């Protein structure tokens, strides 16, 4: 403990204000993506070393996004006081930088409204309960449904905020204890189409590159990625390399900040990505710019791709996507001329009713230009949540896969897990997250265990999600706060955050890194793995783990990809990239150096035809709404809304409207605007900006009282991956005063209710 904790805390408070002001200044000037490298650390470093010696310290991994920054966290036992750079070698991704969230976003840990004890519902209200009572109720509530309707009537949403070890247990709990394959997580709302598309073409549903490749490549094609705001530290790496001469091609409907650094920026209409990507492939192959040797030796399916792209003539691409022929040609030629190229993307490519096809088109482009498996080349979907790669995928809390992407339908694999877990497992896949909510309408899902996911705001079509949550026979929510989702629960279990527990996260380039406890769990909250263990025991299973290292040992024995990923090694080696088959394997920096992970070792290219959004603008709803993030806020705000400095700078959502469109409607920046789709309406202040095109509007996803998912649709899903079409909805806009006078439309009532009722966090 510090002999002067108040002094340190006070210093940090001032440092935060100073740093946030600095960010804002930078944002207006040149770069909102990250603080100038080192600035924050300088601030933190100037806290006297004498004082820091008295504090708890742990070298750990950031719990916000999947970049996977590492740093030392300092705590006085009550709150997190500072983040400082850790030894460079132990921070392979970030070195000494972080963004503002990793540096300062810790007020939520000690906030007054943290859940510190279990809650149970009685006469419609929550009351505090002991752990024994709450866990008994959960065991009874879930057990009852299992008995009456079978395990398939239950589903689990696992948490990509939690550690690998905890997510392994979430999958095991669903299958062994509840008897259901319906376990899924936020990857479904995010990159599941990436996983599906890449698995089908190359074998692994993950980035093939290392962050090192992102620093050294000669060329980037970036699309659907607001890199500076969503993956700030990676953006810093890219910008540095571009300054050193690399080409950067950005395709995005919004001229996001990374576009300022681009050697070519092309505005695309939302929802037609396979079209322009196929157009680039067409230009490449028709001009013999492809890598013939790579195509011949390492791929199958090239001829079919070559034939299928012929329909995407420059004229057609321009008509469908708005990208002029010369920009398609220039991009194709830049990629073909570069020695090495990285293809980077995020949700702009995936959150569509045809996201998997978009990803496969991108994979085709990477393959035909020979940009795989060599240093500086590869595919790089920047993953989202801090642990969605590991916890959301590798650990197998998935309806169709066990840990390590082992197929549930494969008899041999299933037998292995049935044997290890001493249970019977159905060969039928369970429901994906988005399908759980649809299945509940049919009475096929009656109980849910939602861990670290705020579905009442993050699912598509939340007017529908709310109805489902309200109608479930039994709902248990395990979170740090009484979230919008928890308000529907029968029992709420208080979990603790990554600063209060030990385990591992896996970042966007497959690096497994240590997460270390720096303070005791707040109040009576407990780490997810301990809660799951208590519950499993109450429900008849003798789980007996003493530590997350023991859980990882079980993962090692059942999951070839993680065969050698022990805590001991991860800690000693400062991170380990999968596949890592055994104790002696060094880990894998770059996938596909020699072969692809397919039966014949070749990349399987698939022809991708024309696709368009499932909903397109019409006379009533003439604009395309696309949705996403801002730098300072994180998702549904449970963590960032409790950070005063952050709230000062981004106090609400907004809607970006092009100046011409705004003029037409008589809207000025700051005016309240009603944005309305067939499903609902929200009112948010306007931000008039030419970042968007005249027919597109953009709104962030961060606030409950303007929940943008009232406008999105729960039924428009990618047919294979079940990812929602978050990036395209047809909407109309109106100044809020005029709109109030207009006639009511479907969805208006729930939206308005929510506007007054649920915005308190």
Ligand X SMILES: Nc1nc2c(c(=O)[nH]1)N[C@H]1C(S)=C(S)[C@@H](COP(=O)(O)OP(=O)(O)OC[C@H]3O[C@@H](n4cnc5c(=O)[nH]c(N)nc54)[C@H](O)[C@@H]3O)O[C@H]1N2
Q: Which residues make up the interface to ligand X (CB under 6 A)?
A: 65, 159, 161-162, 186, 189-190, 223-226, 229-230, 251-254, 256, 268, 270-271, 273, 346-349, 351, 384-385, 451-455, 458, 478-481, 483, 495, 497-498, 528, 626-629, 631, 633-636, 638, 701, 708-709, 712, 726-727
Q: How far is the CB of 107 from ligand X (least distance, A)?
A: 13
Question: Pick from 664, 514, 495: which is nearest to 165 by CA?
Answer: 514
Half-sphere exposure of 202 (CA within 13 A, CB side): 32
Rounded distance, CA 361 to CA 197, Å? 9
Tell me whether residue 90 or residue 656 sits nearer to ligand X (CB atom): 656
Q: Compute the CA torsion angle 544, 547, 552, 557 (nearest 10 deg).
A: -40
Tell me whether residue 621 or residue 634 sits nearer to Mo ion (CB atom): 634
For ligand SF4, the binding residues in 27-66 under the rule CB under 6 A are 62, 64-65
End-to-end CA distance of the chain: 31
- Bridge partners of 157, per DSSP, are 184, 450
Rounded distance, CA 187 to CA 198, Å? 14
Look-up of token digits 């590798």: 394
Q: How far is the CB of 635 from Mo ion (least distance, A)?
A: 8
Q: How far is the CB of 386 from ligand SF4 (least distance, A)?
A: 7
Q: Where on the phi/psi map is residue 324: left (φ > 0), alpha (ψ -120 to 50), or beta?
A: beta
Q: Give the residue, chosen from 348, 378, 384, 574, that forms a contact with Mo ion under the rule CB under 5 A.
A: 384
> Which region, judged by CB under 5 A, interacts with Mo ion, from 183-191, 272-280, 589-597, 751-759?
183-191
Contact of residue 233 among ligand X, Mo ion, ligand SF4, none (CB under 5-8 Å per partner type) = ligand SF4
User: DSSP character for 581?
Assistant: -
Q: How far is the CB of 627 from ligand X (least distance, A)?
A: 4
- Sheet with 56-61, side-by-side order of all strands: 56-61, 70-75, 80-85
Binding mask 233-272 for ligand SF4 (x = CB under 6 A): x---------------------------------------
For 574-719, where are the alpha helices, taking DSSP H only?
644-649, 659-665
Tell me whether residue 193 or residue 385 sits nearer to ligand X (CB atom): 385
Using rule CB under 6 A, residue 232 touches ligand SF4: yes
> Which region, judged by CB under 5 A, interacts with Mo ion, from 56-64, 150-158, 252-260, 379-387?
379-387
Using rule CB under 5 A, residue 190 touches Mo ion: yes
| Secondary structure element (H or E) that encloses residue 612, with its range | none
Contact of residue 636 among Mo ion, ligand SF4, ligand X, none (CB under 5-8 Å per partner type) = ligand X
Q: How far is the CB of 519 from ligand SF4 (least distance, A)?
A: 18
Rounded distance, CA 737 to CA 145, Å? 48
Contact of residue 403 among ligand X, Mo ion, ligand SF4, none (CB under 5-8 Å per partner type) = none
- Bridge partners of 364, per DSSP, are none
Residues 595, 204 contacting (CB under 8 angstroms): no
Q: How far is the CB of 146 from ligand X (least distance, A)?
A: 22
Tell me whether residue 232 or residue 503 sits nearer to ligand SF4 (CB atom): 232
Q: How far is the CB of 637 from ligand X (least distance, A)?
A: 7
Tell me whether residue 69 or residue 360 sits nearer to ligand SF4 (CB atom): 69
Contact of residue 62 among Mo ion, ligand X, ligand SF4, none (CB under 5-8 Å per partner type) = ligand SF4
Tell me whether residue 369 or residue 389 sits nearer to Mo ion (CB atom): 389
Tell me whether residue 384 or residue 617 sits nearer to Mo ion (CB atom): 384
Q: How far is the CB of 66 from ligand SF4 (least distance, A)?
A: 7
Question: Pick from 483, 477, 480: which is nearest to 501 by CA?
Answer: 480
Question: Pick from 681, 682, 699, 684: which is nearest to 746 by CA?
Answer: 681
Question: Pick from 497, 562, 559, 512: which is nearest to 172 by CA?
Answer: 559
Contact of residue 370 among ligand X, Mo ion, ligand SF4, none (CB under 5-8 Å per partner type) = none
Q: How far is the CB of 407 from ligand X (least distance, A)?
A: 24
Rounded distance, CA 572 to CA 45, Å? 25
- 479-517 as b/e, with b when 16 or more CB fall inside 10 Å? bbbbbbbbbbbbbbbbbbbbbbbbbbbbbbbbbbbbbbb
φ, ψ of residue 638 in degrees (nearest 5): -55, -35
Residues 727, 272 contacting (CB under 8 angstroms): no
Nearest residue to the partner ligand SF4, using Cβ: 102
Q: How far is the CB of 304 from ligand X (least distance, A)?
A: 24
Tell me whether residue 295 or residue 317 sits nearer to ligand X (CB atom): 317
Question: Pick from 560, 215, 162, 587: which is nearest to 386 by CA?
Answer: 162
Using rule CB under 5 A, residue 157 touches Mo ion: no
Count of residues interacting with Mo ion (CB under 5 A): 2
> Which region, judged by CB under 5 A, interacts with Mo ion, from 188-196, 211-219, 392-400, 541-549?
188-196
Look-up of token digits 């809607």: 655
Tell me whether residue 72 or residue 357 sits nearer to ligand SF4 (CB atom): 72
Contact of residue 577 among ligand X, Mo ion, ligand SF4, none (CB under 5-8 Å per partner type) = none
Using rule CB under 6 A, residue 198 touches ligand SF4: no
| Secondary structure element (H or E) that encloses residue 392, with its range | none
Q: Where on the phi/psi map is residue 42: left (φ > 0), alpha (ψ -120 to 50), or beta?
A: alpha
Q: How far is the CB of 392 from Mo ion (least distance, A)?
A: 9
Tell me whether residue 268 or residue 372 sits nearer to ligand X (CB atom): 268
Rounded distance, CA 74 to CA 442, Å? 50
Instruction: Output the six-digit token pair for 68.
Output: 């996977």
Residues 561, 404 contacting (CB under 8 angstroms): yes
Instruction: Output the six-digit token pair for 187.
Output: 């990857």
Q: What's the 3-state SS for 97-116?
A: CCCHHHHHCCCCCCCCCCCC
Contact of residue 230 among Mo ion, ligand SF4, ligand X, none (CB under 5-8 Å per partner type) = ligand X
Tell me whether residue 98 or residue 353 sits nearer to ligand SF4 (CB atom): 98
Pairing of strands 729-735, 655-657: unpaired
Contact of residue 98 among ligand X, Mo ion, ligand SF4, none (CB under 5-8 Å per partner type) = ligand SF4
Using rule CB under 5 A, residue 279 touches Mo ion: no
Tell me whether residue 351 or residue 509 sits nearer to ligand X (CB atom): 351
| Secondary structure element (H or E) that encloses residue 73, with its range | strand 70-75
Rounded distance, CA 285 to CA 275, Å? 15
Using rule CB under 6 A, residue 332 touches ligand SF4: no
Provide the sign of the torsion angle of the four alpha carbons 161, 404, 343, 269, taken in this order. Answer: negative
Contact of residue 359 among Mo ion, ligand SF4, ligand X, none (CB under 5-8 Å per partner type) = none
Rounded distance, CA 430 to CA 445, Å? 11
Contact of residue 102 among ligand SF4, ligand X, Mo ion, none (CB under 5-8 Å per partner type) = ligand SF4
Look-up of token digits 């979907």: 381
Cα 105 to Cα 123, 186, 519, 631, distances in angstroms: 37, 21, 16, 12
Contact of residue 69 among ligand SF4, Mo ion, ligand X, none (CB under 5-8 Å per partner type) = ligand SF4
Tell me whether residue 51 or residue 192 sits nearer to ligand X (CB atom): 192
For ligand SF4, the binding residues in 60-119 under the rule CB under 6 A are 62, 64-65, 67-69, 94, 98-99, 101-102
Q: How far is the CB of 589 from Mo ion (least distance, A)?
A: 24
Q: Return residues touching ligand SF4 (CB under 6 A).
A: 62, 64-65, 67-69, 94, 98-99, 101-102, 232-233
């Amino acid at each position: 403990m510090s002999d002067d904790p108040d002094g340190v805390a006070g210093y940090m408070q001032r440092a935060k204000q100073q740093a946030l002001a600095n960010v804002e200044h930078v944002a207006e000037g040149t770069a909102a993506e990250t603080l100038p490298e080192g600035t924050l650390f300088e601030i933190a470093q100037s806290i006297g070393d004498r004082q820091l010696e008295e504090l708890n310290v742990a070298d750990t991994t950031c719990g916000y996004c999947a970049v996977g920054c590492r740093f030392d966290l300092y705590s006085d036992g009550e709150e997190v006081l500072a983040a400082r750079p850790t030894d460079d070698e132990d921070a392979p991704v970030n070195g000494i930088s972080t963004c503002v969230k990793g540096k300062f976003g810790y007020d939520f840990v000690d906030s007054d409204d943290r859940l510190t004890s279990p809650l149970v519902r009685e006469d419609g209200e929550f009351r505090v309960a002991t752990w024994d009572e709450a866990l008994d109720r959960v065991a009874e509530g879930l057990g009852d449904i299992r008995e009456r309707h079978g395990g398939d009537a239950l589903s689990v949403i696992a948490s990509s905020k939690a550690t690998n070890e905890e997510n392994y247990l979430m999958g095991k709990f669903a299958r062994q204890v509840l008897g259901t394959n319906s376990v899924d997580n936020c990857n479904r709302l995010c990159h599941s189409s990436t996983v599906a598309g890449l698995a089908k073409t190359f074998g692994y549903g993950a980035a093939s590159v290392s962050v090192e490749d992102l620093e050294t490549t000669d060329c980037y094609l970036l699309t659907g990625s607001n890199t500076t705001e969503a993956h700030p530290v990676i953006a810093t790496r890219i910008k540095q390399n571009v300054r050193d001469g690399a080409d950067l091609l950005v395709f995005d409907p919004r001229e996001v900040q990374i576009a300022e650094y681009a050697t070519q920026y092309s505005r695309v209409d939302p929802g037609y990505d396979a079209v322009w990507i196929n157009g680039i492939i067409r230009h490449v192959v028709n001009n013999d710019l492809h890598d013939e040797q790579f195509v011949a030796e390492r791929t199958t399916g090239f001829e079919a791709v070559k034939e299928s792209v012929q329909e995407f003539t420059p004229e057609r691409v321009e008509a469908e996507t708005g990208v002029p022929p010369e920009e398609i040609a220039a991009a194709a030629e830049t990629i073909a001329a570069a020695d090495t190229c990285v293809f980077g993307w995020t949700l702009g490519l995936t959150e569509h009713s045809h996201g998997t096809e978009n990803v496969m088109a991108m994979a085709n482009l990477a393959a035909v230009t020979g940009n795989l498996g060599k240093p500086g080349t590869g595919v790089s979907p920047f993953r989202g949540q801090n642990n969605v790669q590991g916890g959301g995928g590798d650990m197998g809390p998935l309806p169709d896969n066990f840990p390590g992407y082992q197929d549930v339908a494969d008899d041999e694999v299933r037998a292995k897990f049935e044997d290890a877990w001493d249970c019977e497992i159905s060969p039928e896949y369970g429901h994906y997250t988005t399908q759980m909510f649809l299945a509940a309408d049919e009475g096929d899902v009656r109980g849910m265990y939602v861990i670290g996911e705020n579905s009442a705001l993050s699912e598509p079509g939340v007017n529908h999600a709310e109805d489902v949550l309200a109608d479930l026979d039994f709902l248990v929510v395990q979170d740090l706060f009484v979230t919008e989702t928890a308000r529907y629960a029968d029992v709420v279990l208080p979990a603790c955050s990554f600063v209060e527990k030990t385990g591992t996260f896996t970042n966007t380039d497959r690096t497994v890194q240590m997460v270390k406890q720096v303070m005791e769990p707040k109040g009576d909250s407990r780490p997810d793995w301990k809660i799951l263990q208590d519950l499993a025991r109450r429900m008849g299973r003798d789980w007996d783990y003493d530590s997350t290292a023991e859980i990882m040992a079980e993962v090692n024995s059942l999951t070839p990809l993680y065969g050698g990923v022990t805590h001991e090694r991860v800690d000693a080696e400062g991170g380990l990239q999968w596949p890592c088959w055994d104790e002696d394997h060094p880990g894998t920096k770059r996938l596909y150096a020699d072969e692809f992970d397919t039966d014949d070792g070749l990349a399987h290219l698939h022809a991708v035809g024309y696709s368009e959004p499932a909903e397109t603008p019409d006379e009533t709803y003439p604009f395309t709404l696309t949705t996403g993030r801002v730098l300072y806020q994180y998702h549904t705000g449970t963590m960032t809304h409790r950070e005063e400095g952050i709230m000062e700078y981004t106090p609400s959502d907004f809607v970006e409207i092009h100046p011409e469109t705004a003029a037409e409607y008589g809207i000025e920046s700051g005016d309240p605007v009603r944005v309305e789709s067939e499903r609902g309406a929200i009112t948010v202040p306007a931000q008039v900006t030419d970042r968007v095109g005249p027919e597109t509007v953009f709104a962030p996803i961060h606030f409950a009282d303007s929940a943008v998912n009232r406008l999105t649709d729960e039924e428009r899903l990618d047919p294979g991956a079940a990812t929602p079409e978050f990036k395209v909805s047809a909407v109309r806009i109106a100044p809020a005063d005029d709109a109030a006078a207009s006639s009511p439309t479907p969805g208006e009532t729930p939206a308005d209710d929510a506007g007054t009722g649920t915005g308190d966090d």
